[in-house]
Structure 1
Amino acid sequence: MAKAFQWIRSILFVIQMYIMLPVIGLIYLPWALVDRKGAYGGIHGYCRWVRWTAGWMIGLKTEIRGQIPTGEVIVASKHQSFLDIIMIASVLPQPKYIMKHSLRYTPVLGWYASRIGCVAVERGKRAEAMRKMVKDVKHGVMPGGQLVIYPQGTRVAPGVDAPYKVGTGVLYRETGQPCVPAATNVGVFWPRTGIYRKPGLAVVEFLDPIPPGASIDSMMTVLKDMVETRSDELMAEAGFVRSEG
């Protein structure tokens, strides 16, 4: 009975979450059209709405730990579900993401993403997009802020191992910006796919920055160790037990 009730709560939560996306987007649109601050305001407003409603509708509390990055930095985060995107975007002053090219055509979301300088990457053309992005950063074409990248390139379910891609290291070297690792346990409660959401405490934690100047190999080794170690600890804290073999 309890699980059936949680299913109903999850369905209602997901429905309102998608209804409120265009509603909040339209509320902030006049401001966003004339000032990029309005676009950030709309994104912060929507993401904080999702976090707030998750707390009382499905019993999923959210918590940000560590020092929130500001200024020109790369945020390299573990990616387990849509929730870690929401949580990170809710607190970064000027977030921008590397995203799938198809998302550019998503109503409301696509326009806001373009407005804040998100980088759309086509399948098979990631290296080309990276080169253009580095060039835009160096020449001041891209809006400033915190560039969020997922080193594993996709959502990875708890307990699943996936390689870290070198693109994060290349960005780190070419931009000369510090890299802030971020760990999470959100996938324990909010899965990669599906509607069912579990109650609990979802955490995103910003870790100590990796200063600029290290080699790509060294930086990637440190990044992986920091993110995976802390994510495993956060998932264990949430009650997740990694299966053996």
Structure 2
Amino acid sequence: MKLLIAVVRSIAFYLAFYLGSFLLALASIPASFMARRHMAGLGAAWARWHRWCTRYLIGVKIVIEGTVPSGKVIVAGKHESFFEAIDLPNLLDRPVPFAKSELLDIPLWGKVGEAYGMVRVERDQGAKALRAMLQQARKFGEEGRPLVIFPEGTRVAPGECPPLRSGFAGVYKLVGLPVIPMAVQSGHIYHRWIKRSGTIRVQFGPEIPPGLPRDGIEERVRVAINVLNAEPRS
């Protein structure tokens, strides 16, 4: 019976979320001819719709622990599922994620993402692309918007603790902002075709100051974003 309920809830989630996503994508066409803020608002609306579908159709409770950061910081997060990637505008005040260029090249949604504010990451494209990325990051940081990066580079399974990608330490050094670690427990219920009800935990850790050596910042962030790994998952 529990499996049947999970299947029905998952189907309802997929139908509602992707239909809403399609309608918001269509809305981006007329919004692209209006002020930039109208298109940016669609990105935040998409995150709110996703949160509603997750909460009321799947039956997921979201628990936020620690002090939610704001302003000129880098939020370094664990990435177990697409939940935390989509939910960022609900967790933070106008966050600016580092996003793979492929995501920003998606028709319609790419324009929404650029209007909302994202740092384009061009992997393996050389020094010019790196300078452009850092210029974008500094610009958004000066606006007082928190930058968000997943330093492990990609989604990892619950319990895994891979080394951080080398690019994170470079961004930390060159942008010169403090870091707030963000531990996440989401993969056990969300990253599956048949999603489960339960609790997703997001825990913000203590601020890490700028200016640490590479080994120091990488070790502190690696430990902090994996702090929930050993705790029970509900």
Shared topology, TM-score over 0.5? yes
Using a 3 Å threshold, how does the CA distance of structure 1 residues 32 and 72 change in structure 2: closer, same or farther? farther
* Distance in 1 between residues matched to 2:175 and 2:33, nearest whole Å: 28
What percent of counterpart residues are identical?
A: 31
CA contact (8 A) 2:73 2:141 kept: no
Contact map agreement 2:96 2:117 (CA 8 A) in 1: yes
Given that residues 43 and 113 in structure 2 are in contact (C-alpha distance below 8 angstroms), is that contact kept between their aligned partners in structure 1? Answer: no
Q: CA deviation at 1:27?
A: 5.3
Checking the alignment, whether the CA contact within 8 Å between 2:16 and 2:53 is kept in structure 1 is: no
Q: Which residue of 1 aligns with 2:196?
A: 198
1:166 corresponds to: 166
Residue number in structure 2 paired with 1:242: none
Report if aligned partners of 1:117, 1:142 keep a CA contact under 8 Å in 2: no
Aligned match of 2:35:
34
Deviation by residue 1:107-157 (Cα, 9 ceiling, x = unmatched): 44211211133123344337654332223444x388831211111100001
**SS of residue in 2 equivalent to 1:106:** coil
Q: Which residue of 1 aligns with 2:182?
A: 182
Task: Give the whole-Å Cα distance in 2 for the aligned partners of 1:44 and 1:65.
Answer: 22
CA contact (8 A) 1:98 1:118 kept: yes
Residue deviations 1:8-47 (CA, integer Å, cap 9, x gap): 21022022111112334555764994143x4443323221
Bigger drift between 147-156 and 27-36 goes to 27-36
Cα RMSD over matched residues? Answer: 2.5
**Residue identity in the other structure for 2:233:** A
Distance in 2, Cα, partners of 1:207 & 1:154:
21
In the TM superposition, 1:11-26 aligns within 5 A as: 11-25=11-25
1:208 — aligned with what? 206
SS of the equivalent of 2:229 reads: helix
Give the direction of change, closer, same or farther, for the CA distance of 1:115–1:108 in structure 2 (3 Å limit): same
Find the counterpart in structure 2 of residue 121 from structure 1.
121
- Picking from 228, 232, 238, the partner of 2:229 is 232
Amino acid in the other structure paired with 2:159: G
SS in 1 for 2:120: strand
Amino acid in the other structure paired with 2:232: E
Preserved CA contact (<8 Å) 1:95 1:146: yes
Go from structure 1 to structure 2 and tell me whether the alpha carbon gap of 1:7 and 1:32 turns closer, same or farther (over 3 Å shift).
Answer: farther
Whole-angstrom CA distance in 2 between matches of 1:142 and 1:160: 30
> Offset at 1:179?
0.9
Judged with a 3 Å threshold, the aligned counterparts in structure 2 of structure 1 residues 172 and 32 are, in CA distance, closer, same or farther, namely: farther
- Identify if the C-alpha distance between structure 1 residues 154 and 32 changes in structure 2 by more than 3 Å, giving closer, same or farther: farther
What is the letter of the counterpart of residue 48 of structure 1?
A: R
Shift of 1:176: 0.9
- For 2:43 and 2:196, the matched residues in 1 are separated by 24
Deviation at 1:53, TM superposition (A): 2.0
**CA-CA distance at 1:210 after TM superposition:** 0.8
Query: Using the alignment, how far apart are the partners of 1:56 and 1:154 within structure 2?
Result: 28
1:81 aligns to what?
Answer: 81
| Structure 1 gap segments, 5+ residues each | 240-245
